[in-house]
Amino acid sequence: MDVVDRLREICLALPEAEEKPFGGHTAPAFRIRDKMFVMLREDGTELWLKGAPGAQEALIAESPDVYFRPPYVGPKGWVGIRLDADLDWDELAELVEDSYRLIAPKRLVARLDADD
């Protein structure tokens, strides 16, 4: 399974998550109620996701070869992840879920908690 397929499996397992490209791009982006929680760069080398307060700084300090502050959305707490790095897929799945929780309505977060 390639990186995009694996990421797609993680994202679409979340309640009411949908795949819909961003703007005029063709790269996958994952949304909840038309709000993005994960997006991939057009060239497939990076993904960006919303981070909890302080997560961006902590992740970059811990593994600057994997995590970075992406342009445009980085000042809003989003975290960039290099997909050609040695990824910890369990950690990536947790970060995707955290991003979803920050974007999703409370009712869907409660549904996710009930499923766990």
* CA 64/CA 99 separation, integer angstroms: 20
Residue 40 forms part of a structural domain: yes
Residue 116 forms part of a structural domain: no
What integer pLDDT is reported at residue 53 of this predicted model?
A: 93
Question: pLDDT class for 87, splitting at 50, 70, 90?
Answer: confident
Question: pLDDT class for 2, splitting at 50, 70, 90?
Answer: confident
What's the CATH number where 43 sits? 3.90.1150.30
pLDDT of 1 higher than 60: no
Please count the other Cβ atoms lying within 10 Å of the Cβ belonging to residue 41. 14
Residue 11 forms part of a structural domain: yes
Task: Say if residues 11 and 29 touch (Cβ distance below 8 Å).
Answer: no
Beta strands in 20-77, from DSSP E residues, in sequence order = 29-32, 35-40, 46-50, 67-68
Domain count, the chain: 1
For 21-77, write each residue's pLDDT tens digit: 887 778 899 999 999 999 998 888 899 999 999 999 999 999 999 999 999 999 999
CA within 13 Å, CB half, 91: 11
Residue 115 forms part of a structural domain: no
Task: Write out the residue range of the structural domain in which residue 85 sits.
Answer: 3-110
